[in-house]
Structure 1
Amino acid sequence: MKAKEYLHQAYRLDQRINSDIEEIERLRAMATSVSSPNWDEKVSHSRNTNAPFVRCLERIMDLENKINAEVDRLVNLKEQVREVIEKVSNTDEQMVLRYRYIHNLTWEQIGDELNADKSTVRRWHGNALNHVVLPEKPITI
C-alpha cells in the first residue's frame, strides 16, 4: 500500500459512515410514515405478521451497530494517521497532510489556510508523500 492510499482511507470511511447515516434517516422516515392498506388478495403460506415499520426499525438498529463499529475504526485510523503525519519533519508538508487527510479540505481551502497558491500546496503534498513512513501494521479498511 502506498502512502497516499493509506492516508486516503479515512476519507472513504467517513463517506461510508455519512452514507449509512443518510440511509438511517430514510428508514426513520419510512418507519414513521403511514402506509395505505393493500386490498389485493394475496395468498401466502409464510405470512410475515410484523408491521412494516418493524422491519425498518430492525434495519435501523443493524445500521446503527455498523456505524458505531465504523466510527471506532475511523477514530483508530485517524489516530494512526496523525502519528504518521507528525513524523514528517517539514511543518508545511505536515500541515498539508493534516488538512488534506484529517480535515478533508480541498486544495483551495488548504491554500487559503496556509496562505499559499494551489501549485505550492500540491508541491508540498508531493514532497510530503515521499517523506511519509507507513506504520509496521497499518490499519486498513
Structure 2
Amino acid sequence: MNAKDYLMQAKFLDMRINSKIQQVEALNDLATSASSVLTGMPRNPNKATSKMADAVAKIVDLQAEINHDIDELVDLKKEISYTIKAVPSPELQTLLEKRYLCFQSWEIIAVDMGYSMHHLYKIHNQALDICDGILKRDT
C-alpha cells in the first residue's frame, strides 16, 4: 500500500461512520413515525413484529457497528499520527495532519499555511515520498 492510500484510510472510515449515523437518524425517524392500524380483522400470530420494533433492533445493531468503527478510527488515527510524526519536517507534518487527520480541503490548507496551491501540491508530494520510505522501513 502506498503512502497516500495508507493515509486516506482514516477519511474513508470517517465517511462510513457518518453514513451509518445518517442511517440511524433515518431509522429513528421511521420508528417515531410508525403507527398502528386498528382493524376488526384478527391478526396472524406468526407475523413479524411491528415496524417500530424492527427499526429499534436495526438502530441498536447500527449503533454497535458505529461504536466499533469509532474505536477503529481512533486507533487508525493514532497509527497514522505516529507515521506523520516520523516525518522530519514540521512543515510537512502540519500539512499531512491537516489533510489526513483533520480532513481539510486543499484550499483551506493553502490559506492556513500561506502557500499557493502549486507549492502546496509540491510539498505534499515530498511528504508522501517521505511517508512511503517510512512505511517501507517499518514493514
1:87-126 equivalent positions in 2, closer than 5 A: 87-126=86-125
Counterparts of 1:90 and 1:30 in 2: how far apart (Å)? 51
Give the RMSD, CA atoms, in angstroms.
Answer: 2.0
Q: What's the counterpart of residue 54 of structure 2?
A: 55
- Could you list the per-position Cα deviations for residues 62-116 of structure 1 after superposition, in whole angstroms to 9, with x for gaps in the alignment? 0000000000000000000000000101122111111000000111100111111
Equivalent runs, 1:67-106 vs 2, <5 Å: 67-106=66-105
C-alpha spacing 1:38/1:116, structure 2 compared with 1 (3 Å): farther
Structure 1 segments unaligned to the other structure (5+ residues): none
Tell me the residue number matched to 1:8. 8
Deviation at 1:38, TM superposition (A): 8.7
Letter of the 2:55 partner, please give it: C
Return the alpha-carbon distance in structure 2 between the equivalents of residues 29 and 87 of structure 1. Answer: 46
- Following TM superposition, by how much is the alpha carbon of 1:4 offset from its aligned partner in structure 2, in angstroms? 0.4
**Greater helix share, 1 or 2?**
2
Instruction: Please list, as runs of the form range in 1=range in 2, the aligned pairs for 1:7-46 lying within 5 A after superposition.
Output: 7-35=7-35, 37=37, 46=46
Contact (CA 8 Å) 2:34, 2:52: kept in 1 or not?
Answer: no
Secondary structure at 1:26 match in 2:
helix
Paired residue secondary structure (1:103): coil
Please list every run of 5 or more consecutive structure 2 residues that lacks an aligned counterpart in the other structure: none
Q: Could you give the per-residue CA deviations for residues 4-63 of structure 1, whole angstroms, max 9, x where no partner exists? A: 000000000000000000000000000000346397x9x979421x22100000000000
Paired residue total: 134
